[in-house]
Amino acid sequence: MQTILVTGGAGFIGSNFIYYMLGTHDDVRIVNLDALTYAGNLENLRGVELDPRYTFVRGDVRDKAAVDAVFDAYGVDTVVHFAAESHVDRSITNPEIFLSTNILGTGVLLESAKRHWNLRPDDKYCREYRAGVRYLQVSTDEVYGALGKTGMFTEATPLSPNSPYSASKTSADLLVRAYGETYGLPVNITRCSNNYGPYQFPEKLIPLMIRNCLLGKPLPVYGDGMQVRDWLHVRDHCAAIDTVLRKGRVGDVYNVGGNNEKANIEIVRLVLAATGRDESLIRHVQDRPGHDRRYAIDNTKITTELGWAPAYTFERGMSETVQWYLDNTAWVERVVSGEYQNYYDTMYGNV
Ligand code: NAD
Ligand code: TYD
């Protein structure tokens, strides 16, 4: 039985990953360590709460004692590290928490994994680890910076982050690399493009636009709306992580993307059409500072070396996603309360 420590499992991708893994494999146990920040919602995990293979532990990845206690109590042999502050706009207004959670939190997890898995943890030259252990860092294509009209990010593209969020994720990636190089810790990094799907916090583009359409509220499009993102259904991302865990070469980075580039304004128009609204709701608002113009992932390595490929077409993925938000308006409204509501007001004022 593989015991996977999933950090940030109450968030968007983490919760989808837990469903994916428990639904796909019989022989896994999941320990979900999550601090339940504004973005963590245990309601996302109702469907697995009673599964004996699933355990939730409330805790902060920056808390060394809490992380060590999880390793000790559950015999963790795999880490999939999702927990992070994940929203670029928040990183522009409050960068500190991004440095703390995304960089220091990663450092704590790496150190704990090294000490628990190394066969002689007090010997600084020992590079031998328990059989089968693996640390996987869930990273983002944003570490590569922005592209012009052409080109794609490969795993060899220099790291060139532009926002405090992407700079913190890049720093974390470099720590992971350092633990691989210096200590021989068996690590992987996955760098995925923008995800969409169920349980995404409605501060991100797609769920925010769906909700506003349903409420007849204006749709805030940053600048000209011609920024391009490479969208991937969250389940395809989860399958890619599972593939890297099973087949990835130790120490390697894998880019994950769906070859599915769309300008933001196209996404907004698609959501308008799917919800029966018209373009009069669109509002072009002041652009995000340092806004990356285009991301595009070259996924040749993971597709050719590991045999992963996205299963969703964008049409099917988007239609299911819009339907999920239509069917789960109560979830959305419960999420959009408290701190998020204050945040929404400071971001968009009375737009
Ligand atoms: P999210 O914001 O929805 O969820 C983050 C989760 O981490 C929440 O459950 C939150 O409570 C938890 N968390 C935050 N700080 C914590 C701490 N200090 N200790 C423990 N738990 C903490 O994020 P997401 O969109 O699911 O992204 C998950 C990961 O995937 C992140 O590392 C992100 O950088 C990466 N990623 C996201 C995307 C995307 O499109 N969303 C794309 C590529 C990579
Ligand atoms: P987002 O979902 O925040 O993801 P990221 O910044 O990590 O790519 O935003 C996706 C794109 O949508 C990005 O170019 C910013 C843009 N955007 C808007 O135009 N309006 C909005 O209200 C939001 C949240 C995003």
The overall average pLDDT reported for the chain is 96
**Residue 99 per-residue DSSP state:** I
Atom number, ligand 2, closest to the C-alpha of residue 163:
6
Domains and CATH numbers, the chain: 2-197+232-258+290-313 (3.40.50.720)
| pTM reported for the whole predicted model | 0.96
The total number of residues written for the chain in this structure: 351
- Which amino acid is located at 79 in the chain? V
Which numbered atom of ligand 1 lies nearest the CA of 8? 7
> What distance in angstroms lies between residue 70's CA and the mean position of ligand 2's atoms?
35
Q: Please indicate whether residue 224 is annotated as part of the active site.
A: no
Within 8 A by CB and 6+ apart from 96, the residues are none
For 159-209, write each residue's pLDDT tens digit: 999 999 999 999 999 999 999 999 999 999 999 999 999 999 999 999 999
Which H/E stretch holds residue 312? none
Question: Which of 129, 165, 312, 325 is flagged as catalytic?
Answer: 165
Q: Which ligand is nearest to the CA of 101?
A: 1
Residue 81's alpha-carbon distances to 4, 109, 137, 188, in angstroms, are 10, 8, 5, 11
Q: Which amino acid is at 288?
A: R
Which positions ≥6 away from 349 have C-beta within 8 Å?
none
C-beta contacts of 217-221 below 8 A and 24+ residues apart: 217/281, 218/281, 218/282, 218/283, 218/351, 219/268, 219/271, 219/272, 219/281, 219/282, 219/283, 220/283, 220/285, 220/348, 220/351, 221/264, 221/265, 221/268, 221/282, 221/283, 221/284, 221/285
CA atoms within 13 A on the CB side of 162: 15
Q: Assess whether 142 carries a catalytic annotation.
A: yes
* Residue 51 annotated to the active site: no
Is residue 338 predicted with pLDDT exceeding 90?
no
Which residue owns the Cα nearest ligand 2 atom 4?
204
Which residue among the candidates 34, 77, 85, 141 is catalytic per the annotation? 141
CA–CA gap between residue 224 and residue 216 (Å, rounded): 21
Amino acid letter for position 160: S
With contact defined as beta carbons under 8 Å apart, do 154 and 297 qualify? no
Q: Is the dihedral of CA 172, 174, 180, 183 positive or negative?
A: negative
Give me the half-sphere count of Cα atoms (radius 13 Å) on the Cβ side of residue 281: 22
Structure confidence by residue, pLDDT tens digits, 322-336? 999 999 999 999 998
Residue of the CA atom closest to atom 15 of ligand 1: 84
Residue 203 CA, closest ligand 2 atom number: 24
Q: Could you read off the pLDDT of 290-314 as tens digits, one per residue?
A: 999 999 999 999 999 999 999 999 9
pLDDT of amino acid 337: 79
* CB 82 near ligand 1, within 6 Å: yes
Return the pLDDT at 340: 38
Task: Give the pocket of ligand 2 (CB within 6 Å).
Answer: 88, 194, 204-205, 208, 220-222, 227, 229, 264, 288
